Amino acid sequence: MKKLSVFNKILIIIIGFISLYFTIIYIQNNNLINFLVSIALIPLTLVPTILNKMLKYKLSNGIILIYLLFIIFSVILGSLFNFYDYIPIYDKILHFVTGILSSLFAIIILKNFGKYGDKSIGFNLIFMLAITCAIALLWEVFEYISDYLFSGNAQRHIETGVHDTMQDMISSLVGFIIFTIFYIVKKFTLFNCEH
């Protein structure tokens, strides 16, 4: 376990150097999109550390390793080294892995709130599905907005025309956010009315 923790720290340092290297290159080349991608590596690597400070149940070194490897495969190899363009199914493989990581993250959330149990497998599965779908939605919205703002093509919208689908998903997300704000502000009174 100690070796894995040390290995994770080494990976974080390597990712930091890669981020710095590509940041300098993309500043010199005036490549704003890849500059933003390379600089985003640093906060991305800090996500497990931040979560471990916030959560009662900590992310294991194994999960952190999987997360860091995912960052390497998706951001560094996929975006900065263009594996998405060179390997046709590369994006699909990473989305598959994201489904697994999202499910593990959902279990950690359930454990932190004391809701995870063997007797509530149905609830666990529904919650895992909801978290996985939410993470996938947020990622696709991020890609869409990035493409729109920086004239990118991460979603291959030029070839496939996904604008309507993405706008529908964003509209649903905005509806959820507005409802959530209302729900929290009203302190659950909407559903706790006395008859």
pLDDT digits (tens, 9 = 90+) for 151-167: 666 656 556 667 666 77
pLDDT of residue 23: 92
Residues 95 and 83 in one domain: no
Predicted structure pTM score: 0.68
Q: How many residues does the chain have?
A: 195
pLDDT > 50? residue 195: no
Crossing angle for the helix pair 61-71 and 32-54, to the nearest 10 degrees: 170
Mean pLDDT of the chain: 80
Residues 76 and 118 in one domain: no
Residues 60 and 146 in one domain: no
Residues 30 and 59 in one domain: yes
Say which residue, 162 or 95, is predicted with more confidence. 95
Residues 103 and 81 in one domain: no
Name the domain boundary from 60, 87, 114: 87
User: Residue 79: which residues within 8 A CB-CB, separation 6 or more?
Assistant: 34, 37
For residue 74, give its domain range: 1-87
pLDDT > 70? residue 193: no
pLDDT > 90? residue 18: yes
Structural domain count, the chain: 2
Name the domain boundary from 66, 87, 108: 87
**Cα 78-158-28 angle, rounded to 5 deg:** 50
Residues 33 and 112 in one domain: no
pLDDT of residue 17: 93
